[in-house]
Amino acid sequence: MTQAAGRDVEYQHEGTRMRGLVVPPRGGAAADTSAAAVLLIHDAFGLGEEMTGHAARLAEAGHPVFLADVWGERATPSSAAEIGPLIGAMARDRDRWLGRIAAAHAALDAQPEFTGRPLALLGYCFGGSSALEYLRTGADVAGVAAVHPGLDLLEQDWSTPGSGSVLLMIGADDPMATPGMREQLEKHLSGAGLDHQFHLCSGTTHAFTSAKAVASPDPEVFAHNPRSAARAWAATTGFLAELSAPAS
């Protein structure tokens, strides 16, 4: 996977050092300042190679990317024993969780590459849940793309939603995004008046874009699906292009 060349950006949240990464747009596409900027929120494994690989591909297409560091100190947990407590701590303290997303957003706003561009949140797994929670609680952005988000992590109070179009890429057999959870979220998005689209991938469970799920020990819960991953990428880049288009 192509890796991103960029610059480190340190920021703080409640005394924790966060180590984000800016990946500027590449080549001739960099001159197109109408292309949407992206705040990329990592999955449970942190700001590692998969996330920087996604950022590199987006930068090649002309999108500046800010990779948030939600865990702090750019931690990259590698096992369920490490990941479970991290996610559990955020779910128990949503002010802290969403404060870390807001801190990344503020750090992005201070970077010159992002000035004057529409902003999209792009999150994978836990990052997709993070993006949706940030939207639920008032984020004002152009769009939110959530790829196999854990809908089981979302709260149900949408009384103060933000703004922006929404794209969801979900496996039809994902136990963390069941039909009931999807129906509930669709009702909330409709009730909030938010433009949204659901892409449901058949024969697909959780974490279907991740290389870490290729040899899944529990494929009924999570497993890599190359076809669904390719479709998710195509849908995501098309969504960003739509956000980038000048208003008619």
Confidence category of residue 3, pLDDT binned at 50, 70, 90: low
Residue 30: the pLDDT is: 64
pLDDT tens digit sequence for 99-145? 999 999 999 999 999 999 999 999 999 999 999 999 999 999 999 99
Q: How far is CA 57 from the centre of its chain?
A: 15
Helix (H) or strand (E) holding 107: helix 94-109
pLDDT for res 28: 61
Return phi, psi of residue 176, to 5°: -100, 5
Q: How many CA atoms lie within 13 A of 125 on its CB side?
A: 23
Q: Which residues contact 73 (CB under 8 A, 6 or more apart)?
A: 16, 17, 18, 19
Q: Does residue 243 register a pLDDT over 70?
A: yes
Residue 185 has pLDDT above 90, yes or no: yes
CA distance 162 to 198: 19
Query: Which of 43, 37, 71, 222 minimizes the C-alpha distance to 127?
Result: 43
pTM tops 0.85, yes or no: yes
Phi-psi category of residue 133: left, alpha or beta, with phi > 0 → left and psi -120 to 50 → alpha: alpha
Amino acid at 211: A
